[in-house]
Amino acid sequence: MQVLITYMKHKFLQYLSIIGLICLLVLQHAIARAETDTTKPTLEQLVQARKQWTQQSLDGDAHASAKLGALYLSGSLGSPDYVKARTYLKHGATVDLSSLLAYGHLLMHGLGGEVDTATAEEYFKEAASQDSMEGLYLHSKLVLSRKITEVEITSAVKNIYQAAQKGFPPALATMGEFYRTGTFVNLDPAQAIEYYQQAANGGYTEALATIAEMYLFAELEEADIQQAKVMYRQALSEGVKSASYSLAFLLYNQGSLDPDSLNEAFRTAEIAAYAWDERCQYLLGLMYYEGKAIDQDMEKAYFWLDIAASAGVFESHHIRALATDSLTTEQIQSVKLRAKKWFNDNHDRPHKHIFIDNAIHRYK
């Protein structure tokens, strides 16, 4: 029994870490809005406020420290400064719940200093004692991440359930994952979808793509590709970029005789490819190579397959090699120059790769 619990806990925590980062981003954006949207101060006013709050903080005013920490975390003066945010939020946490949560997030993710999950757990526990559902959820998450007894597991899962019942979206998504995987509860895909949908309704829109996966992967006894496409479209309409490839792939491979499906597949893949989705870059290259959704164009095929290959999409190497049979040496060199220029001009745009670390991504 303990071996099974350990295995499932390890698998599930990979999912939990993503939700933790999402919580931090939501909190960071909320702080940014609070600092900028309500009164819409100018940069000069923010600088003046920073000066005033800094002096008040030095005089021991924890409320001023909370404001300073929020200011540095929000990036309202430029990029977020997690080091200074840590310093001031720690002091602000003595009087302010938002600072308590924010400081816990910084400790948990090692932003502005070393990772310190033990201390983060204590801060989230204190937030939970102040009726924070986020604190309750994150404290339980960290409890589940370390070696614990079955009694502690039961308590942590109960707390996550309580946060979900209060409508906290990450907790709802977590309950969905519990029921989807049979972790800590009996396997129940239908119950999982219900929780995921509630999470999506609460703003955790990534859950829509998860529901689509469940329909696609026959987790409700048999595959429902049509419903999967409906959910992927809904996820995409809510800004879930990861849904682009799945939707485009399904439309392209199911729509061989349907011009509308092929056109939607092409448009979806193209938009995502320009936004640095490497899987869509591969799919777009494949479309140009096969000439099914768009007129065949070996140069454009090579271009996008080359970009995708640089981002670690292994299959791109195979199709790119086949495309070279239709191109001259001069054409290949010309396409490579264009691909390198596009890479250099666009790689600084915010994006995150799936197969490799952004920091080591180079055009080769």
CATH number of the domain encompassing residue 82: 1.25.40.10
Whether 215 maps to a domain, the answer reads: no
Mean pLDDT confidence for 248-259: 87
pLDDT over 80 at 82, yes or no: yes
Q: What is the mean pLDDT of the chain?
A: 88
Mean pLDDT confidence for 42-70: 94
Whether 127 maps to a domain, the answer reads: yes
pLDDT over 90 at 234, yes or no: yes
pLDDT over 50 at 19, yes or no: no
Q: 133 with 270, same domain?
A: no
For 61, the domain range is 2-166
C-alpha 308/C-alpha 285 separation (Å) is: 9
Domain boundary among 120, 142, 166: 166
Confidence of residue 60 (pLDDT cuts 50, 70, 90): very high
Confidence of residue 1 (pLDDT cuts 50, 70, 90): very low
Task: Count CA within 13 A, CB hemisphere, residue 238.
Answer: 19
pLDDT over 50 at 28, yes or no: no
pLDDT over 50 at 21, yes or no: no
Q: 13 with 149, same domain?
A: yes
Among the residue ranges 34-48, 71-85, 138-152, 153-167, the one predicted with the least confidence is 34-48
Q: 247 with 156, same domain?
A: no
Whether 186 maps to a domain, the answer reads: no
Domain boundary among 143, 166, 189: 166
The model carries a pTM of 0.79
Confidence of residue 39 (pLDDT cuts 50, 70, 90): low
Domain boundary among 166, 181, 212: 166
Q: 160 with 16, same domain?
A: yes
Confidence of residue 139 (pLDDT cuts 50, 70, 90): very high
Confidence of residue 124 (pLDDT cuts 50, 70, 90): very high
Q: 154 with 247, same domain?
A: no
Inter-CA distances, 347 with 242, 333, 358, 363, Å: 18, 21, 9, 10
Q: What is the pLDDT of residues 178-233, one digit of tens each?
A: 999 999 999 999 999 999 999 999 999 999 999 999 999 999 989 999 999 999 99
Q: 66 with 158, same domain?
A: yes
Q: 156 with 245, same domain?
A: no
C-alpha 179/C-alpha 193 separation (Å) is: 9
C-alpha 248/C-alpha 272 separation (Å) is: 10
Mean pLDDT confidence for 6-11: 37
For residue 325, the tally of other CB atoms under 10 A from its CB is 7
The number of domains in the chain is 2
Mean pLDDT confidence for 324-329: 95
pLDDT at 17: 45
Q: What is the pLDDT of residues 269-312, one digit of tens each?
A: 999 999 999 999 999 999 999 999 999 999 999 999 999 999 89
Q: 269 with 130, same domain?
A: no
